[in-house]
Amino acid sequence: MAGHEHPKEHDLPSIDILTWSEVTHWATHGNPSPPFRIEKTEAQWRELLTDKQFRITRLKGTERAHSSELCQLFEPGRYECLCCGTELFDAANKYQSNTGWPSFTQPVSPGVVAYHPDASHGMHRIEVTCNVCDAHLGHVFPDGPEPSGLRFCINAVSLHRSPVRERGRLS
Ligand SMILES: [Zn+2]
């Protein structure tokens, strides 16, 4: 009687193909639940981060275009949130956008990033943040390549790249 009808609801499945309508729905109606939360005060983040890292991740700054070698790096790897270490993106979903910022077609799972309407700078965009620690990552646009058609335009400063794990994922 108390059994769950949807036992997999609380898992974090990998995304098949994320769509722009899902992204806009989350941005306007609320985001998927994060796997866990990490919260720190502004002073604590300032202690942990450089000025540049703090400005971009906690004050929603944007790094200069073409300022990171990560734009041109397509080796296998995982991209974690600089602030909290949560895995956000996989190199398998990274592509050459020629925009000057690392670009991905989707995150590693639906709950790790959050979406917010952003009307700053006279534009209507959707901001992307880490769903675990609220770090500003960048924006997502509906002009990416197949199959998702999405372009996650992410500040390299907001990411920490780590090599692929040797241990295989459970399947
Ligand atoms: Zn984070």
Domain annotation for the chain: domains and CATH numbers = 20-164 (2.170.150.20)
The enclosing H or E element of 26 equals helix 20-29
What pLDDT does residue 171 have?
38
32 alpha carbon to ligand 1 midpoint, in Å?
15
The ranges of the chain with pLDDT < 50 are 1-10, 170-171
84 is catalytic: no
150 alpha carbon to ligand 1 midpoint, in Å?
21
For 13-37, how does the pLDDT look when each residue is reduced to its tens digit (9 = 90+)?
555 789 999 999 999 999 999 999 9
Please give the model's pTM, rounded to 2 decimal places: 0.86
Which one of 81, 83, 133, 153 is the catalytic residue?
A: 153
Contact 157, 68 (CB under 8 A): yes
Contact 15, 107 (CB under 8 A): yes
Count Cα atoms within 13 angstroms, Cβ side, for 161: 18
Structure tokens at 115: 């979406």
What pLDDT does residue 165 have?
61
2 alpha carbon to ligand 1 midpoint, in Å?
35
Structure tokens at 165: 């794990």
37 alpha carbon to ligand 1 midpoint, in Å?
9
